[in-house]
């Protein structure tokens, strides 16, 4: 019987090619518009470190001005001052801890005519790679000893290794930056977490830095921050030293805590630290420490921007229009076939037979719409990439994965079936007597 | 007065050419009640369509009240149809989504009468066909005879001078058919010219004049008709 | 007009009409809100930065040699650039409008005032060429003199005693002042007095989405960090040939630095408003598609209605309706559906707009968008239905006697 209904459905679709095309197109366009935006949003709100979500915590303490909170409603600053980052790191009270900040260096490649170029770098403590499961192609990160001894070591991202060394194993080679020589200890495998969860204060969708070097080395080398810096108190005169001693916030800190007990202990430690600092005259605000999991932190920082949310709400409404359109057209089709339907009823078709017939027809249209919709989603993503061609990072946003493709087809079929329900119900309630009454 | 002279009507399809009417000539005078009979496919409906200006003729002349109709444009034809001609169809042809009142109202709307005038005429005609009590019913809620009586009311509402009926009793049982015929005779008595196509000879005989159509031409009435009439008498 | 019977006939098959009315309503909702968003974005894009954008380019220089003599390097660079034919003026600063990154300070009328009373302003460090390089016009007071310009470390906290403010900043600082604000003293941070020497017409802060974007102050100081931003204003028509020339000259004059981000102000503007213009493009696309889909939906439904009613149309024709009357029937029917949809859509649009204003801080919508959208949708409906209506009017009245 299913084959029979399938054939009836195909016949009916072929009998009204323009109308069927219109329904398929409406569903496809609705799905395409919706899925394009959903896709962008899906990538934006992804949590690339989900597998460690229950052990990683972003650390915040509130060293902000007594007059006003850093951000309403009474949120602590999103970054740390050097004073606090250093003190919390040195205490080593977590299983792993990482403090880092974004800076830049001028890379001077070997060779007479090679031009120097500027690169953003991440100055970080040694645990960064282990803590965030950063994959290595060659070598490894540096150890804590290197952190202490301010050794001039550096880790290259795979893209930069490609540019500088043609992708070969460059561990042990030397690299000149700002007229100083660094030894390469590791080369990363391709690694592009989207969003860049470990530092969402700057653009959360840009590529990770392509150079990683020890935090202590950066501080003693007086590296400035290349990311956001906020201060509520004027910095005293005295150059970099004064800046380090200021209440300006510019560093990110993460800790790894293996279980609830560790987490509790770390909270107590943070409280104790802040209380101690209060005695020294710092931390004028109420105690307001936060430990956030990566998911909480991404949510909290609201990395999905308003434009995407606005577009999404309009795209969902768009799909609603496309569905209303389809419902209307299906209903019209049913109404026009009243005679046919009531004749079938008179000839012995029961309601469930008619129901199957119409639902299968709608399902076919939905499937076609869904497949076409995937194509349109892909086009839509290309379109967005084109609009933002100026920004490299947008490439990271316009990926389509299997879960999205599956969602598109499922949404299309669900939409078509949903749209078919009312017209089908109407068809089923056509009485077999209708034909006989009105010619 | 209705006057057709050498009217031909040819239908062309991809496959064949059908000469539905050939050299058809007929004059119907004021106040006549004419029945048209003939075998199926002989061109009766075609004649009625041309008489009622539902279709254009292929050649020949057609005068209505002394005016040549063949040169009128659509707007003028519609107006003539609306004001001078009333139609009654075999399959009633009521509009299913309008109730009885609105169905009778349709030609009056195109006539441009005001609301009071329309209501007066609708009620008068419905009263005449005895369906005042069904004024809010939809066609789906009426029997065949009732539907045809609404159709007659609709045809009469514009007070047409000509009433064209195509097998008006074809879908009705004998009793109903008789009562419709009574109604038509009554209408004819009050001055309306009636042309009625039918294949039932007994009914045809109720008309004052009988015309027989064969192969798209008026032919002399077949002897059987008079025989049947005599037998009936 | 036969509104009554048309409306009653519609009620008999209401589901189809309600659906199309709903579709029009949601279309209207999207359309109105999309237009509101587009308007806001377009307004933002249309704001002027104050610079002579067509004839200005900017770039940065990063010195990476330790102990570079920044003061003489910048001096030499500026000399080189200013002496090139076609250069109108040039300045070394910390940022420029639309750049997204810059320096801001709180300004106040009294020293040591509570910090929440201060007014934020962008700071541009310049010399006496700053006003002209930034394309600003002095509307009151005098430009900086060369000996007012001081030289300081990048992290220094010593401020010169002079400043030039934009008119918008002056208004914000002295809302009541009727006469000149030149000569008045304001305080930067807690207690650095600054004497206003001039007011310029307009110069935006580097952050175009900041509410205080029109508030900027020029400070006669050169911060001698290794990172310098140069702004070059050319005579009309010279920009494109000067850019590679300047890059070449400066790159060769000193090997211990790199010249980066050589960019025209046109390009900077494009980048700065990329999000806004992309949004406008996407919304235009969505609205266009939507109107097309709704239009096609109306065509499809009307065609269906026409073919479903073929017989009825024939009957009406037989009863004396002329072609125009048949066309009018469908046009009126569509007008009724559209009107119901548009009225509902107007209400939904306002509700969604209120939601968006609350959720995304959008500007409330301008009243005239609604009548415009109404008109457009009415027109679209009438155009869409015209085709099927024409086909209906061509149905032969003979249908009434045939196909019994
Ligand atoms: N639209 C048409 N196209 C082609 N042939 C037609 C058409 N209408 C009627 N005919 C043909 O014209 C002839 C006369 O038809 P009609 O006037 O309906 O006959 P009657 O009403 O006497 O039964 C028939 O042979 C019929 O097949
Ligand atoms: Mg016939």
- State yes or no: pLDDT of C84 exceeds 80: yes
Residue numbers in B near C317 (CB within 8 A):
54, 78
The three-point CA angle A188-A191-A194 to 5° equals 155
Neighbour order of strands in the sheet with B85-88: B85-88, B162-166, B193-197, B33-37, B209-214, B217-219
ipTM of the complex: 0.80
Closest CA to C393 of C297, C336, C309: C309
> In which band, very low, low, confident or very high, does the pLDDT at A15 lie, cut at 50, 70 and 90?
confident
- Residue C304's contacts (CB-CB under 8 Å, 6 or more residues apart) are A19, A329, A332, A333, A335, A336
**Residue A438 predicted with pLDDT over 80:** no
pLDDT at A48: 85
Residue-wise pLDDT for C170-193, tens only, equals 999 998 888 889 999 998 876 789
**C256, C107: one domain:** yes
Q: How far apart are CA C137 and CA A75, in angstroms?
A: 42
Closest by CA to A214, choosing from A136, A123, A128, A86, is: A123
CB under 8 Å to B97, separation ≥6 — which residues? Answer: B138, C9, C12, C13
Residue C209: count other Cβ atoms within 10 Å of its Cβ. 11
**CB atoms inside a 10 Å sphere around CB B200:** 16
pLDDT at A306 over 80: no
| B37 or A7, higher pLDDT | B37
Please give the residue of chain B at the shortest CA–CA distance from A435.
B140
Choice from B18, B198, B215 to test ligand 1 binding pocket (greatest atom count within 8 A of CB): B18
Q: Which ligand neighbours the alpha carbon of B40 most closely? A: 1
Residue at which a domain ends, from C243, C272, C301:
C272
pLDDT for the residue numbered C403? 58
8 A C-beta contact, residue A334 and residue C388: no
Average confidence (pLDDT) over C103-125: 80
Average pLDDT over residues C133-155: 90
Please state the rounded mean pLDDT for residues C100-118. 77
**Rounded average pLDDT over C299-315:** 86
Q: Is B37 in the pocket of ligand 1 (CB under 6 A)?
A: no
Lowest-pLDDT range, A132-146, B218-232, C225-239?
B218-232
Size of interface A-C (CB pairs under 8 A): 154
CB-based contact (8 Å) between B147 and chain C? no
**C330 with C192, same domain?**
no
As a whole number, the mean pLDDT across chain C is: 89
C354: contact with A, CB 8 A cutoff: no
Q: Say how many Å lie between the CA of residue B153 and the centre of ligand 2.
A: 22
Tokens matching residue C375? 């008109």
Q: Which pLDDT does position C376 carry in this prediction? A: 93
> C1 falls in which pLDDT band (50, 70, 90)?
low
pLDDT for A435? 47
Model confidence at B228: pLDDT above 90? no
The reply to whether residue A438 touches residue B96, judged by beta carbons under 8 angstroms, is: yes
Whether A67 has its CB under 8 Å from any CB of chain C: the answer is: yes
Q: What mean pLDDT do residues C330-343 have?
A: 93
- Does any ligand 1 atom lie closer than 6 A to the CB of residue B40? yes
What mean pLDDT comes out for the span C51-66? Answer: 90
Distance from the CA of B217 to the center of ligand 1, in angstroms? Answer: 13
Is 70 exceeded by the pLDDT of residue B233? no
pLDDT per position as a tens digit, A414-428: 888 888 888 888 888
Instruction: State which of A374-383, C14-23, C164-173, C275-284 shows the largest mean pLDDT.
Output: C164-173
The torsion region of residue A151 among left (phi > 0), alpha (psi -120 to 50) and beta comes to beta
Residue B29: band (very low, low, confident or very high) from pLDDT cuts 50, 70, 90: very high
Q: What is the pLDDT of residue B97?
A: 80
pLDDT for the residue numbered A439: 43
Q: Could you give the count of Cα atoms lying within 13 Å of B34 in the half-sphere of its Cβ?
A: 24
- Return the residue of C nearest to A32 by Cα: C286
CA angle A150, A153, A159 (to 5 degrees): 145
Q: Which of C5, C322, C398 sits opposite B54 (nearest CB)?
A: C398
The pLDDT confidence band at residue C32, using thresholds 50, 70 and 90, is: very high
Ligand 1: which atom is nearest the Cα of residue B49?
A: 17
Rounded Cα–Cα distance for residues C344 and C21 (Å)? 8
Lowest mean pLDDT segment, chosen from A430-439, B163-172, C21-30, C91-100 = A430-439
Q: Among residues of chain A, what percentage have pLDDT more than 70?
A: 93
Residue B223 confidence class, pLDDT cut points 50, 70, 90: very low
Query: d(Cα C78, Cα C64) in Å, to the nearest integer?
Result: 19
* Buried b or exposed e, range C139-167, using 16+ CB within 10 angstroms: ebbebbeeebbbebeebbeebbebbbbbb
Interface test with B, best of C319, C321, C324, C393 (most B CBs within 10 A): C319
Q: What share of chain A is helix, strand, coil (3-state, %, to 5)?
A: 50, 15, 35
- Looking at A134-143, A266-275, A290-299, which range is the least confident one? A290-299
- pLDDT score recorded for residue A261: 92
pLDDT bin (cut points 50, 70, 90) of residue A131 is very high
pLDDT digits (tens, 9 = 90+) for C246-258: 999 998 888 888 8
Indicate whether C11 and C67 sit together in one domain.
no
Ramachandran category for residue C380: left, alpha or beta (phi over 0 → left; psi -120 to 50 → alpha): alpha
Query: pLDDT class for A302, splitting at 50, 70, 90?
Result: low
**Residue A326, Cβ density class (10 Å: 0-12 exposed, 13-18 middle, ≥19 buried):** buried
Secondary structure letter of residue A80 according to DSSP: B
Q: B73 vs chain C: nearest CA distance in angstroms? A: 10
A neighbours by CB contacts (3+ pairs under 8 Å) = B, C
Q: What is the mean pLDDT of residues B127-139?
A: 91
The reported pLDDT for the residue numbered A219 is: 92
Last residue of a domain, one of C202, C237, C272: C272
Domain match, C187 and C81 both: yes
- Cβ distance A438 to B140 less than 8 Å, yes or no, reads yes
Domain of residue C159 covers 53-272
Separation in Å, CA of B29 to nearest CA in chain C:
22
Q: Supply the angle between the helices A306-336 and A338-346 in degrees, to the nearest 10.
A: 60
d(CA C264, CA C246): 13
Same domain, C119 and C237: yes
The CB of B20 under 6 Å from ligand 1? The reply is yes
Please tell me the distance between residue B45's alpha carbon and the centre of ligand 2 in angstroms: 4
pLDDT band at B196 (very low <50, low <70, confident <90, very high): very high
Question: What tens digit of pLDDT does each residue of A180-194 get?
Answer: 999 999 999 999 888
Of A272-281, A346-355, C319-328, minimum mean pLDDT range? A346-355
Q: How many CB atoms lie within 10 A of CB A280?
A: 7
Q: B3-30 burial string, b = 16+ CB within 10 Å, else e?
A: bbeebbbeeeeeeeeebbbbebebebee
Ligand nearest to the CA of B37: 1
What's the pLDDT score for residue A337?
A: 76
Which residues touch C171 (CB under 8 Å, ≥6 apart)? none
The sign of the dihedral angle between the CA atoms of B96, B99, B101, B106 is negative
pLDDT at C221: 93
For chain C, how many structural domains are there in total? 2
SS (H, E, C) chain C: CCHHHHHHHHHHCHHHHHHHHHHHHHHHHHHHHHHHHHHHHHHHHHCCCCCCHHHEEEEEEEECCCCCCHHHHHHHHHHHHHCCCCEEEEEEECCCCCCCCCEEEEEECCCCCCHHHCEEEEEEEECCCHHHHCCCCEEEECCCCHHHCEEECCCCCCCCCEEEEEHHHHHHHCCCCCCCCCCCEEEECCCEEEEEEEEECCCCCCCCCCCCCCCEEEEEEEECCCEEEEEEEECCCCHHHHHHHHHHHHHHHCCCEEEEEEEEHHHHHHHHCHHHHHHHHHHHHHHHHHHHHHHHHHHHHHHHHHHHCHHHHHHHHHCCCCHHHHHHHHHHHHHHHHHHHHHHHHHHHHHHHHHHHHHHCCCCCCCCHHHHHHHHHHHHHHHHHHHHHHHHHCCCHHHHCCCC
């Amino acid at each position: 019987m299913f084959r029979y209904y399938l054939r009836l459905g195909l016949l009916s679709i072929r009998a009204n090619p323009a109308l069927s095309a219109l329904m398929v197109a409406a569903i496809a366009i609705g799905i395409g518009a919706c899925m394009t935006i959903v896709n962008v949003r899906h990538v934006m709100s992804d949590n690339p470190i989900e597998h460690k979500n229950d052990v990683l915590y972003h650390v915040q303490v509130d060293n902000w001005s007594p007059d006003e909170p850093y951000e309403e409603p009474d949120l602590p600053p999103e970054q740390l001052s050097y004073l606090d980052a250093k003190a919390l790191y040195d205490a080593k009270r977590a299983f792993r801890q990482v403090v880092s900040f974004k800076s830049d260096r001028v890379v001077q490649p070997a060779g007479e005519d090679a031009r120097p170029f500027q690169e953003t770098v991440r100055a970080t403590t040694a645990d960064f790679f282990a803590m965030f499961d950063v994959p290595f192609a060659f070598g490894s990160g540096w150890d804590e000893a290197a952190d202490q001894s301010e050794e001039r070591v550096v880790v290259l991202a795979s893209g930069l290794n490609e540019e500088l060394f043609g992708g070969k194993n460059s561990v042990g080679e030397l690299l000149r930056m700002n007229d100083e020589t660094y030894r390469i200890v590791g080369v990363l495998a391709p690694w592009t977490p989207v969003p860049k969860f470990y530092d969402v204060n700057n653009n959360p969708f840009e590529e990770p830095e392509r150079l990683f070097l020890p935090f202590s080395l950066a501080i003693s080398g007086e590296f400035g921050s290349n990311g956001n810096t906020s201060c509520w108190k004027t910095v005293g005169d005295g150059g970099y030293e004064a800046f380090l001693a200021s209440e300006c916030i510019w560093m990110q800190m993460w800790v790894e805590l293996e279980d609830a007990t560790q987490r509790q202990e770390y909270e107590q430690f943070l409280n104790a630290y802040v209380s101690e600092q209060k005695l020294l005259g710092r931390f004028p605000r109420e105690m307001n420490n936060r430990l956030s999991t990566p998911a909480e932190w991404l949510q909290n920082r609201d990395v999905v921007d308003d434009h995407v949310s606005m577009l999404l709400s309009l795209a969902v409404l768009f799909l609603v229009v496309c569905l209303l359109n389809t419902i209307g057209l299906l209903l019209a089709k049913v109404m026009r076939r009243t005679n046919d339907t009531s004749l079938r009823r008179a000839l012995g078709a029961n309601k469930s037979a008619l129901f199957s017939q119409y639902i299968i027809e709608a399902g076919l249209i939905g499937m076609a719409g869904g497949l076409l919709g995937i194509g349109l989603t892909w086009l839509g993503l290309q379109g967005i990439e084109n609009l933002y061609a100026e920004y490299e990072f947008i490439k990271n946003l316009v990926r389509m994965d299997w879960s999205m493709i599956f969602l598109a087809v499922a949404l299309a079929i669900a939409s078509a079936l949903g749209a078919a329900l009312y017209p089908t119900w109407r068809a089923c309630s056509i009485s077999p007597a209708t034909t006989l009454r009105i010619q | 007065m209705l006057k057709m002279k050498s009217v031909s009507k040819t239908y062309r399809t991809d496959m064949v050419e059908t000469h539905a009417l050939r050299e058809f000539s007929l004059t119907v005078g004021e106040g006549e009640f004419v029945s048209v009979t003939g075998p199926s496919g002989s061109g009766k409906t075609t004649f009625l369509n041309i008489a009622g200006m539902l279709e254009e003729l292929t050649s020949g002349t057609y005068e209505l009240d002394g005016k040549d109709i063949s040169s009128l444009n659509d707007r003028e034809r519609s107006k003539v149809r609306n004001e001078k001609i009333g139609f009654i169809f075999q399959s009633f042809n009521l509009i299913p989504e309008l109730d009885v009142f609105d169905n009778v109202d349709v030609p009056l709307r195109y006539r441009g009468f005001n609301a009071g005038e329309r209501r007066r005429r609708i009620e008068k005609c419905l009263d005449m066909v005895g369906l005042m009590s069904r004024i809010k019913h939809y066609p789906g809620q009426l029997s065949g005879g009732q539907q045809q009586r609404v159709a007659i009311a609709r045809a009469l509402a514009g007070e047409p001078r000509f009433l064209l009926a195509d097998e008006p009793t074809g879908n009705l049982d004998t009793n109903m058919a008789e009562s419709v015929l009574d109604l038509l005779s009554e209408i004819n008595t009050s001055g309306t010219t009636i042309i009625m196509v039918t294949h039932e000879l007994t009914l045809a005989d109720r008309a004052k004049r009988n015309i027989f159509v064969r192969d798209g031409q008026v032919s002399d009435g077949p002897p059987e008709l008079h025989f049947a009439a005599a037998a009936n008498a | 007009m036969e509104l009554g019977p048309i409306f009653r006939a519609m009620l008999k098959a209401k589901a189809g009409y309600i659906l199309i009315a709903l579709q029009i309503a949601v279309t209207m909702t999207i359309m109105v809100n999309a237009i509101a968003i587009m308007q806001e974005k377009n307004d933002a894009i249309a704001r002027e930065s104050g610079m002579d954008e067509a004839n200005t380019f900017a770039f940065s220089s990063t010195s990476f040699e330790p102990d570079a003599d920044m003061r003489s390097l910048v001096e030499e660079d500026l000399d080189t650039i200013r002496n090139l034919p076609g250069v109108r003026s040039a300045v070394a600063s910390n940022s420029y409008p639309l750049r997204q990154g810059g320096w801001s300070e709180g300004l106040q009328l009294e020293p040591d005032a509570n910090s929440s009373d201060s007014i934020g302003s962008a700071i541009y460090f310049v010399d006496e060429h700053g006003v002209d390089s930034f394309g600003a016009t002095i509307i009151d007071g005098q430009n900086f003199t060369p000996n007012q310009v001081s030289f300081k470390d990048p992290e220094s906290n010593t401020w010169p005693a002079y400043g030039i403010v934009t008119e918008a900043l002056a208004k914000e600082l002295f809302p009541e002042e009727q006469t000149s604000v030149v000569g008045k003293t304001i305080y930067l941070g807690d207690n650095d007095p600054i004497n206003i020497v001039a007011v310029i017409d307009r110069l935006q802060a580097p952050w175009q989405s900041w509410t205080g974007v029109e508030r900027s102050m020029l400070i006669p100081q050169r911060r001698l960090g290794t990172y310098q931003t140069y702004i070059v204003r050319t005579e009309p028509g010279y920009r494109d040939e000067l850019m590679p020339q300047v890059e070449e000259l400066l790159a060769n004059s000193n090997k211990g630095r790199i010249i980066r981000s050589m960019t025209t102000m046109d390009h900077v503007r494009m980048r700065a408003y990329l999000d806004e213009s992309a949004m406008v493009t996407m919304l235009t696309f969505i609205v266009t598609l939507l109107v097309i889909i709704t239009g096609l939906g109306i065509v499809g439904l009307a065609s269906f209605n026409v073919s479903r009613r073929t017989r009825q149309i024939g009957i009406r024709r037989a009863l004396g309706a002329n072609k125009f009357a048949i066309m009018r029937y469908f046009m009126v029917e569509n007008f009724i559906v559209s009107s119901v949809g548009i009225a509902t859509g107007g209400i939904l649009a306002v509700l969604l707009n209120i939601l968006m204003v609350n959720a995304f801080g959008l500007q409330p919508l301008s009243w005239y968008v609604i009548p415009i959208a109404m008109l457009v949708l009415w027109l679209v409906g009438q155009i869409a239905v015209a085709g099927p209506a024409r086909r209906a009017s061509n149905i032969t009245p003979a249908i009434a006697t045939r196909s019994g």
